[in-house]
Amino acid sequence: MRLFGRRSRSDSEPREPSRLSLACGERINAVEEPSTFAFLGRPNSELDDFVASLARLEDRTAWDADIENSFQAKVGRHDVLTVPLPSEDSAKRLSRRFAGLMKQEEGRPHIVIMVVSLNGAQIDAADVEALKPWLREARYVHKFFVIVKVDDKEEIPKLDDLRKGCFADFPQAPEMFEFIAENSEAEDYEALGRAIIHPNLVLRSTKFVVVGNPGSGKSSFLNGVLQEAHFRAGVKAATGLTQTLESRNCLDAPYHVHDMPGLGDVSPELMKNAAQALVSAMTVDGWYKVLFFFNLDKGKLIRQEDIDTMAAVLSLTTDKEGKRLICEPIVVLNKVPEKLANELEKKKERSEFMEPIQSKFLELGFKEMTLMKAVLVIKYVREWDEKEDTIMDVTSRMRSQLDEAPSIPVFKKSMEDAMRATARQEQKETTTGSSGGNIFYKLKLAINSILP
């Protein structure tokens, strides 16, 4: 059974579904994990289209008898609700009821999708009042996404501060939101669909954190993800141009990217900067993709110093019970010659090449990586070494790999406690070892001065 766009022959006045409902419906139909989706908002043309889609299904039921057009239906393996919000009183009652449902179904993904309108530079005041109770229950929701409909794509704010400013009247600005217009490009609707319904339940709040040694290509890569030179990178990068944590929103994809200073064998002052950046980036509640960068030595070999840096961060973020908080790291192989990159397309060759990293994972108590999903290969381009503020060519295939690469949930208190406890463990300075040797020792000293 398909949702949004299915038209019954008995419809007396069939109408074409909106592009928004089609974008959401196609993504829901593709999600494999059984989930509960709730579309809500004040009665309007967009929510009415979602309502009409469920109203055509024979097995629909009324989710709330007192609210007109409040439907619940089984769509494939999913439960889908439409909840019009005619008054603040009913909104409070319905939000509490839905929160109770989520508590009963703990472990099942619940995705709430709000549809609101823009009135000038702010979200319409009536939408704000209707949605306030749901925002207060957001802690129970796996995904909480706000769609802001505008009349024309030219009205969509371009700058991140202006986009967030539209939610000035909300009790708190939602982390996960997107703007869309009926005349937006097809790619915009596709990006919206990916943001709402990601295979790994990833949202706009998903954070990219790049970790590696100075000059390993982290900043150039993030410039490629953003398709603009937001981070300093290029010919001087061998000494490391990024000195503090720098962050940007990716406006056309559901990501917030963090550029980190290089770790490696740096001075105590630079190590403290890098440690502060690591703490700031990794101690925010949310979903993460953590990417470890490896520059190949002479284009052929994985460097030991890159393995040590990865091991140091993974050890630092393992708690005292042995729980590995960065449980599914992602590896980026940079500056890979074309011939080797082609060889790494083959499963056997990739497995053999990644053996040093896989061995380190096992030594640290991690499971082996899924090599075809958790490893990104970047071919070497000489021109990138000769430019200032390099923008790496992140291909559509690589973007798809990033979407499918593992995401992990991070909780602020757990991460802070793990870093603090590990940093206070007594350990002599060494130059070798499973935890990252000298880099780990210096990183612990720096963390000790940052986390009380």
Residue 33 is predicted with a pLDDT of 65
> What is the Cα–Cα distance from 355 to 353, expressed in whole angstroms?
6
| 118 touches 74 (CB < 8 A) | no
> What is the Cα–Cα distance from 124 to 116, expressed in whole angstroms?
7
Q: How confident is the model at residue 195 (pLDDT cuts 50, 70, 90)?
A: low
Of 128, 167, 188, 147, residue with least CA distance to 37:
147
Is pLDDT at 44 greater than 70 in this prediction?
no
Domains 19-196 and 206-450 belong to one CATH topology: yes
pTM of the model: 0.58
The pairing of strands 71-75 and 408-410 is: unpaired
User: Which of the two residues, 142 and 152, has the higher pLDDT score?
Assistant: 152
> What is the Cα–Cα distance from 34 to 77, expressed in whole angstroms?
5
Q: How confident is the model at residue 447 (pLDDT cuts 50, 70, 90)?
A: very high
| 319 touches 201 (CB < 8 A) | no
Provide the mean pLDDT of the chain: 77
Give 150-218 as a DSSP string. ESSGGGS--SHHHHHHTTTTSSS--SSEEEEETTS-HHHHHHHHHHHS-TT---TTEEEEEE-STTSSH
Q: What is the mean pLDDT of residues 120-127?
A: 85
> What token pair was written down for 289?
């993709």
Of 46, 41, 91, residue with least CA distance to 64:
91
The helix (H) or strand (E) run that includes residue 379 is strand 375-379
DSSP 344: T
Residue 240 is predicted with a pLDDT of 52
Is pLDDT at 374 greater than 70 in this prediction?
yes
**Model pLDDT for residues 245-275, shown as the tens digit of each residue:** 888 876 555 578 888 888 876 678 888 888 9
Domain boundaries, the chain: 19-196, 206-450
| 92 touches 56 (CB < 8 A) | no
> What is the Cα–Cα distance from 422 to 316, expressed in whole angstroms?
6
Q: Which CATH class is domain 19-196?
A: alpha beta
CATH for the 206-450 domain, from 3.30.365.10, 3.40.50.970, 3.40.50.300, 3.90.550.10 = 3.40.50.300
Residue 420 CB neighbours (<10 A):
17
> What is the Cα–Cα distance from 53 to 149, expressed in whole angstroms?
19
Kindly report the backbone phi and psi dihedral angles of residue 215, in degrees, each rounded to the nearest multiple of 5, phi listed first. Answer: 75, 20
| CA triple 382-388-389, angle to 5 deg | 105
Q: What is the mean pLDDT of residues 361-375?
A: 87
Of 4, 10, 79, 85, residue with least CA distance to 43:
85
Residue percentage of the chain with pLDDT more than 90: 15
**Model pLDDT for residues 215-254, shown as the tens digit of each residue:** 888 888 888 888 787 777 654 444 555 667 888 876 555 5
**Model pLDDT for residues 421-435, shown as the tens digit of each residue:** 999 886 544 444 566
> What is the Cα–Cα distance from 418 to 420, expressed in whole angstroms?
5
Is pLDDT at 166 greater than 70 in this prediction?
yes
| Strand positions, DSSP E, 308-392 | 330-336, 375-379
Of 392, 148, 405, 403, residue with least CA distance to 255:
403
